[in-house]
Amino acid sequence: MQLENVATRRQQKRAAHIFTLAAFLLWAVYTQFVEAYIMPGPVAVAERLYEFFTDFHLVKHMFWSFAHIIGAVSASFLIGCALALMPFYMPSFKLMVHGRLSPFLNSFSGIGWTLLAVIWFGINDFTVMFAISMVLIPFAIINLREGLDNTDAELMEMAHSFSRGRWRQFR
């Protein structure tokens, strides 16, 4: 039985490698029939990647882009978490957050938020982070709301019965 599993895994690995090689070869053949600006070949891509990762200026910009993304994701998670926790702990805010604010934020596309951010703030780092955050906040609200809705009510009641403080219940 175990030998069959090993043989099956080897066949799966071999199939995966053959598929990757076939895709690579198909790419190389396709680039022979189209212009380089439409689909550059594998050699041109490899050369450009080498140039990119050996140029300190470009690598620095890549890390700044990563910093923008990490900052925007963190900000959207914190804002979304605060907005999702408000109705959970203060039910009077439920209509405001889930009935009005979340659908409103969800109604704008990423391009819409980007255009508004450029109009409001100009072209700068904050604009990039604002646009990314505004797109991600509804996702954070919805996911955190679903997680809170699926929290075990009996477990929360037990924590309350055993005199756990609100902070310990929250954790």
Q: How many CB atoms lie within 10 A of CB 97?
A: 19
Q: Quote the mean pLDDT of the chain.
A: 88
| The two three-digit tokens of residue 92, written as one number | 């009077």
Q: What pTM did the predictor assign?
A: 0.67
Nearest to 97 by CA among 112, 116, 79, 74: 79
State the pLDDT at residue 1: 55
Whole-number percent of the chain with pLDDT over 90: 57
Q: What share of the chain is helix, strand, coil (3-state, %, to 5)?
A: 85, 0, 15
Instruction: Give the model's pLDDT for residue 94.
Output: 87
Contacts of residue 114, Cβ cutoff 8 Å, sequence gap at least 6: 127, 131
Structure-model confidence comparison of residues 92 and 18, the more confident one: 18
Alpha carbon distances (Å) from 166 to 60, 61, 89, 161, 163: 44, 44, 10, 12, 9
Is the pLDDT score of 155 beyond 60?
yes
Digit-coded pLDDT (tens) for 19-44: 999 999 999 999 999 998 899 999 99
Q: What is the pLDDT of residue 21?
A: 95
Counting beta carbons within 10 angstroms of the beta carbon of residue 141, is it exposed (0 to 12), middle (13 to 18) or buried (19 or more)?
A: buried
User: Where residue 109 falls among pLDDT bands split at 50, 70, 90?
Assistant: confident
- Would you state the pLDDT for residue 120? 94
User: Is the model's pLDDT at 149 over the cut of 90?
Assistant: no
What are the E-state strand segments in 41-146? none
Q: Give the pLDDT band (50/70/90) at residue 2.
A: low
CB 140 within 8 A of CB 84: yes
